[in-house]
Amino acid sequence: MSYLADFQLSRHPANPILRPDPTLAWESLVATNPAAWYDDVAGEVLLLYRAAGDDADHRVHLALARSRDGIHFQRDPGNPVASPLPNTPDGGCLEDPRIIKIGDWYYVTVASRPFPPGRYWDPAALARRPHLAFPPHFPAALRQNLTSTHLFLTRDFKEWIRAGRLTDPSLDERDVVIFPEQVGGKWVTLHRPMQWHGQGFPNAQPAIWIAANVDLLGWKQLRLLAKAEYDWELKVGANNPPLKTPHGWLQIYHAVGPDKHYRLGALLLDLEDPFRVTHRTRRAIYEPTAEWETKGLYNGVCFPCGHAVLNGTYHLYYGGGDVVCGVATAPLAELLDHVRTQPV
């Protein structure tokens, strides 16, 4: 059964654009889920991606690659640009970054855990793994090595400020996205608290929530923005930071469907009131069909964390199979025209 719309993002023939490097112990298994930013001064696309080696703990780092054309990338030489700090809230992994830039500063949201996740694709390996836990009297919700989202700041991807946590530590919250500029003098963020669904909530499955606050690190009041609506959607979550367009904030989101595969849709949010969804695709605009998307550490995954617009073409950068990086493209005007045919 196909869940695809007539209009789709196109898988680039150069895919996958980045694979794990077997010569690097810290990146021999995984190079995936890339954030992206177009540096118009340098004239290059920066790709900040999730990297991991073939170790038992599956400790996850961030690494950097660059491209002039948005397709062919070269890694920065040397070690990862950022790694987990043992015995801290982000001591186990740095995953699924999203980048915005304000002035000279890159703001990077990073999903992290206190302990490495282990080889999550191998139940036998997880069963043999030494138990890593907080003291038994610690609250049960916090003894599960939950994923939180932290804010990292940098000017050069060499020196970092680990500014603090953006999420409630009692929640599994890994899909936090910051709008690339303030709206109405406030920071606007998208969230996906995994526990917030079912009885007592307006959404049966995990959904996209939104908040606005004058303090980016301050306590946030979340409001439901978008939940599963169509037959290809169960769990939904935001992906790359919203793109400001004359027609609204373009937000790509993912949905995990009944077949456990990830598919992508798009929202348009009102420019002045991003709490209001004005348009939403009713069918998916992308789904995993290539072997490197359907077979990996997690099968059937296309998970974007970044985008760039080059010469009017929208480039969406995503992870395939939790192993490699890919890019899908479309003329931005055609993508927006498609979304705008579907008001909510």
Let me know if residue 260 belongs to a domain: no
pLDDT at res. 206: 98
Q: Is residue 186 in a domain?
A: no
Q: Considering its fold, how many domains does the chain have in total?
A: 1
Has residue 27 been placed in a domain?
no
Neighbours of 38 (CB within 10 A): 18
CA–CA gap between residue 233 and residue 265 (Å, rounded): 10
Coil/strand/helix, residue 39 = strand
| pLDDT for position 129 | 75
Q: State the average pLDDT over residues 167-196.
A: 96
Q: Are 51 and 61 in contact (CB under 8 A)?
A: yes
Asked if residue 56 is part of any domain, the answer here is yes
- CATH of residue 40: 2.115.10.20
Rounded to the nearest 5 percent, the helix, strand and coil shares of the chain are 5, 40, 50
Provide the residue range defining the domain that includes 104.
35-174
pLDDT at 14 over 80: yes
Task: Give the mean pLDDT of 128-147.
Answer: 79
Residue bearing tokens 């801290």: 88
Tally of CB atoms within 10 A around 43: 8
pLDDT in tens, 97-115: 999 999 999 999 999 999 9
Q: pLDDT of 51-65, one tens digit each? A: 999 999 999 999 999
Confidence (pLDDT) at 142: 73
If 0-12 CB within 10 Å is exposed, 13-18 middle and 19+ buried, where does residue 215 land? exposed
* Average pLDDT, integer, range 120-140: 81
Whether 239 is covered by a domain: the verdict is no
Amino acid in the structure at residue 114: P
For residue 287, what pLDDT is reported?
A: 97
